């Protein structure tokens, strides 16, 4: 009832619709004008109804009634922060652990690379200080031999492991026969057999990979050893030339002479100091290559003359064979097939017989360092080489 009376007072304060004052029913007093508190303090609103209308709150009213309004919309509150799922934390921890492992592995690899670099730098500094002597060369060769022995022992270990794997494979083959006798037991043991076979195959693959790496390392060591020995020899020769120059030993003008054999020419030079021992140990540089020891040292008057046989960069000392002529079998039952060819690009300062005997060629895919016979057939036919090749059709 109290609510009804308040709403009636508010109804009386509302302005008239369409500019006219609301007419009360049955001569009742007019409702008060509309106040601003009408829509805020209650969930019902006072409106004009006819005399037959019903109010949901107070039943039948002779003059006025009430109409309910929908409740105000609920106040939207901000959503609370949802809890992080456990799997997110698990992924985060796993990623953190993987990052730590990768970082540690990278640090180890860096340390290993730094250690290898330090060793290489130390070796470079040692080689740069002075050329190695013969004793040091022997020591290095002994070190290489020791490393080779170590790797051979490793290879024997791998071979032993392979034998063990072969024994295991044979044992599993026997087990397979037993499994055929008892089908159910064979089926139960099949999984274990497959697992062991897979491990054996992986082990064999690792063994083959290690064998290939070992072969590659052997080839690399051989190339490194050859390169180092060549470098050490060149450095030693250059050092000896320098020492000889410091002592006043030097070679005079280099003179070239005739070709002594295929691809080889004779050179001579005069040594300024008459010491035969120095002649045997004094290197010389010819055609860009250092030659450590002369072919011979001889006295010509008061001068010591050395001779070298140089087989590098001597294109003028390389005659060539002309067209090959097939002369057939030497004789029935000889088993020899003869071929002939003329030797070209011979000069007057050459020994034609020596050049003929030392000039190589290929006949029917077979390499010959020189012909079987050489014959000088005069100015018209020149020097001719003859090869007697084994042939079963000449038997």
Cα dihedral 318, 324, 327, 330 in deg (nearest 10): 40
pLDDT value at residue 135: 79
**Six-digit token string for 324:** 């090959």
**Six-digit token string for 200:** 């054996």
Place of tokens 């330090």: 118
Place of tokens 């037993």: 178
57: Cβ contacts below 8 Å, ≥ 6 apart: 3, 4, 44, 66
**Six-digit token string for 266:** 């004779």
Of 330, 327, 360, nearest to 343 by C-alpha is: 360
Residues of the chain under the 50 pLDDT cut = 1-22, 25, 27-28, 34-66
Q: How many CA atoms lie within 13 A of 125 on its CB side?
A: 6
Is the whole model's pTM more than 0.75, yes or no? no
Place of tokens 């992080």: 84
Place of tokens 């540690």: 104
Which residues are registered as beta bridge partners of 337?
329, 389
Domain ranges of the chain: 2-68, 128-240, 255-315, 319-394
**Strands 54-55 vs 289-291: parallel, antiparallel or unpaired:** unpaired
Determine contact, residues 82/43, Cβ cutoff 8 Å.
no
pLDDT value at residue 31: 53
Characterize 21-45 residue by residue with b for buried, 16 or more Cβ atoms within 10 angstroms of its Cβ, and e for exposed.
eeeeeeeeeebeebeeebeeeeebe
Of 43, 44, 65, nearest to 55 by C-alpha is: 65
Number of H helices and number of E strands within the chain?
Answer: 7, 17
H or E element at residue 364: none
Specify the 3-state DSSP secondary structure of 369.
coil
Of 244, 246, 314, nearest to 284 by C-alpha is: 244
d(CA 277, CA 389): 47
DSSP structure class, residue 251: B
pLDDT value at residue 101: 94
Place of tokens 């039948």: 60
Give the relative orientation of helices 183-246 and 134-181 as an angle to the nearest 10 degrees.
170
Considering just the CA atoms, what is the radius of gyration of the chain in Å? 55
């Amino acid at each position: 009832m109290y609510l009804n009376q308040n709403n009636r007072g508010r109804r009386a304060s509302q302005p008239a619709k369409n500019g006219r004052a609301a007419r009360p029913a049955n001569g009742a007093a007019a409702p008060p004008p509309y106040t601003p508190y009408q829509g805020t303090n209650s969930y019902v609103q006072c409106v004009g109804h006819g005399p037959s209308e019903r109010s949901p709150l107070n039943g039948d009213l002779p003059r006025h009634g009430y109409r309910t309004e929908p409740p105000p919309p609920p106040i939207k509150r901000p959503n609370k922060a949802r809890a992080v799922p456990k799997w997110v934390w698990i992924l985060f921890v796993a990623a953190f652990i993987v990052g730590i492992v990768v970082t540690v592995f990278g640090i180890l690899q860096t340390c290993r690379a730094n250690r290898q670099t330090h060793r290489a730098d130390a070796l470079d500094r040692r080689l740069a200080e002075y050329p190695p002597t013969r004793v040091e060369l022997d020591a290095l060769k002994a070190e290489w031999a020791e490393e080779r022995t170590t790797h051979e022992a490793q290879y024997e270990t791998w071979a032993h492991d392979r034998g063990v794997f072969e024994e295991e494979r044979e044992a599993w083959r026997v087990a397979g026969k037993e499994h055929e006798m008892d089908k159910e037991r064979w089926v139960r043991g099949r999984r274990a057999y497959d697992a062991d076979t897979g491990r054996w195959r992986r082990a064999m693959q690792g063994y083959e990979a290690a064998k290939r790496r070992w072969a590659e390392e052997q080839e690399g060591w051989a190339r490194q050893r050859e390169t180092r020995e060549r470098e050490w020899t060149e450095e030693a020769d250059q050092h000896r030339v320098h020492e000889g120059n410091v002592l006043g030993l030097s070679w005079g003008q280099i003179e070239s002479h005739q070709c002594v054999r295929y691809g080889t020419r004779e050179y001579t030079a005069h040594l300024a100091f008459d010491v035969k021992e120095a002649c045997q140990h004094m290197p010389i540089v010819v055609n860009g290559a250092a030659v450590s020891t002369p072919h011979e040292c001889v006295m010509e008057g008061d001068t010591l003359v050395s001779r070298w046989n140089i087989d590098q960069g001597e294109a003028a000392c390389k005659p060539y064979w002309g067209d090959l002529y097939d002369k057939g079998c030497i004789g029935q039952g000889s088993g020899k097939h003869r071929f002939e060819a003329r030797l070209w690009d011979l000069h007057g300062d050459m020994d034609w017989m020596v050049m003929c005997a030392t000039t190589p060629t290929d006949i029917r895919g077979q390499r010959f360092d020189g012909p079987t016979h050489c014959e000088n057939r005069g100015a018209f036919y020149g020097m001719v080489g003859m090869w007697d090749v084994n042939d079963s059709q000449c038997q």
